[in-house]
Amino acid sequence: MSAVTNLSNSEIVASLGLPSTIIDDLRTAQSSTYEGKMNEFLTPLVNKIVYQKVDKLVFSNPFKKYDGYPVDYGDTIENIFVECPDGYTFDKDDTDPFKKYTPSVKPLYKSINYQMQYTTTIQDVLMKHACLNQYGFMELVNSIIDTLGTKKSVDEYTATLSMLNDANIYAGGFETLSIPSADTSFDKYKAITQKIVDTVSDFSIPCKSNNKLGVLTACPKNKCLLIIKYDILNHINLDYLAGVFNLSKVDLINNIIPIRSFDTIKNTIASGVVTDSVNVGDNIDFAILDTDGFDNHVCLDDSGMIYNPKGKYTNHFTNLWKIISYKYFKNARAFKISYTA
């Protein structure tokens, strides 16, 4: 029985007549282009890419559920708050029933303030040449078109955060919550949790100090929404409540949206190239508000396409027009945390 001869990689490459650098080429990192030298190794097998995995961003706007009715006609919403009348002590001598008592109503108006359009070009003929079958072609095309709706959702989310990053919609503007920096992590997040619980409890009691307009109103706990930086929320759940209880498990607040930051990034674009990016808005830490206060309405949400038979490509368009606002007569308070010496 003859002994088995173990060939090295270089000997195998030489016996197949392949370039001597093929092993090094195969060890290189992934590239964003399909390079010809790789095709030298794959040509004896197949002349086309045999598998394509299309990845894309998946995102759902958590504020979308608070949209109101669609605005199909006109461009302005009028919100009216009817104030409670003041009572008075009964006077047996004042028997005139014909005096006029004009009710107090507070109107607020908001027009379309968000109009976005998204477009992408599908090079139909060229893409067909990059796929082995119609299913690979359709998956690629559908994924490209889906990114229009995904970016629409991301921008809608960012626009809502930008609206919430406005001191004018909150009672007291951006309030400062001072916490001694010498406190332990437990004490710090206990103080933050206490402020959240106290504010939610205060919202449920009729008063005038929790809304920008200063009208007598109240908000049930099941409609209180906490929007908070996720790192603070994680510290509350882990450092203060030790993972046994957290804000959503106990009867503190059920509606929570964790975020990275309240401020947003604004890009300066020249000739299609981003030349500068700056943070816009105050980086507050958390806000508590009445979900009925959202004055968000879709005014236009459609898509369309147009085919160019000469250029053999299709332009796809998606539009979203909205009113994005908050009603001043609904409870809303926002806080910035300051660690003091």
Least confident of 24-33, 69-78, 274-283: 24-33
pLDDT tens digits, 47-101:
455 566 677 888 899 999 999 999 988 888 888 888 888 888 888 888 888 888 8
3-state secondary structure the chain: CCCCCCCCHHHHHHHHCCCCCHHHHHCCCCCCCCCHHHHHHHCCCCCCCCCCCCCCCCCCCCCHHHCCCCCCCCCEEEEEEECCCCCCCCCCCCCCCCCCCCCCEEEEEEECCEEEEEEEEECHHHHHHCCCCHHHHHHHHHHHHHHHHHHHHHHHHHHHHHHHCCHHHCCCCEEEEEEECCCCHHHHHHHHHHHHHHHHHHHCCCECCCCCCCCCECCCHHHEEEEEEHHHHHHHHHHHCCCCCCCCCCCCCCEEEEECCCCEEEEEEECCEEEEEEEECCCCCEEEEEHHHECCEEEEEEEEEEEECCCCEEEEEEEEEEECCECCCCCEEEEEEEEEC
What the block records as the tokens of 85 is 């009348």
Report how far apart, in Å, the C-alpha atoms of 244 and of each of 152, 241, 247 are: 38, 6, 10
Residues 320/301, Cβ–Cβ less than 8 Å: yes
Residues 336/284, Cβ–Cβ less than 8 Å: yes
Look at 45 and 298; give whichever has higher pLDDT.
298
How confident is residue 211, by pLDDT bands cut at 50, 70 and 90? Answer: very high
Residue with tokens 């003859």: 2
- Parallel, antiparallel or unpaired: strands 224-229 and 286-290: antiparallel
pLDDT tens digits, 127-162:
666 555 556 667 777 888 899 999 999 999 999 999
pTM metric for this prediction:
0.78
How confident is residue 33, by pLDDT bands cut at 50, 70 and 90? Answer: low
Whole-number mean pLDDT of the chain? 81
**pLDDT for the residue numbered 235:** 86
Checking if the pLDDT of 240 tops 70, the result is: no
Separation of alpha carbons 263 and 82, rounded Å = 34
AA identity, residue 134: Q
What the block records as the tokens of 235 is 């510290």
Mean pLDDT of 274-294: 84
How confident is residue 42, by pLDDT bands cut at 50, 70 and 90? Answer: very low
Residues 13/23, Cβ–Cβ less than 8 Å: yes
Domain annotation for the chain: domains and CATH numbers: 9-41 (no CATH), 111-340 (3.90.1690)
How confident is residue 254, by pLDDT bands cut at 50, 70 and 90? Answer: confident
pLDDT tens digits, 263-277:
877 766 666 676 666
Q: Which residues pair with 56 in a beta bridge?
A: none
Residue with tokens 């959702």: 153
**pLDDT for the residue numbered 43:** 41
Mean pLDDT of 333-337: 96
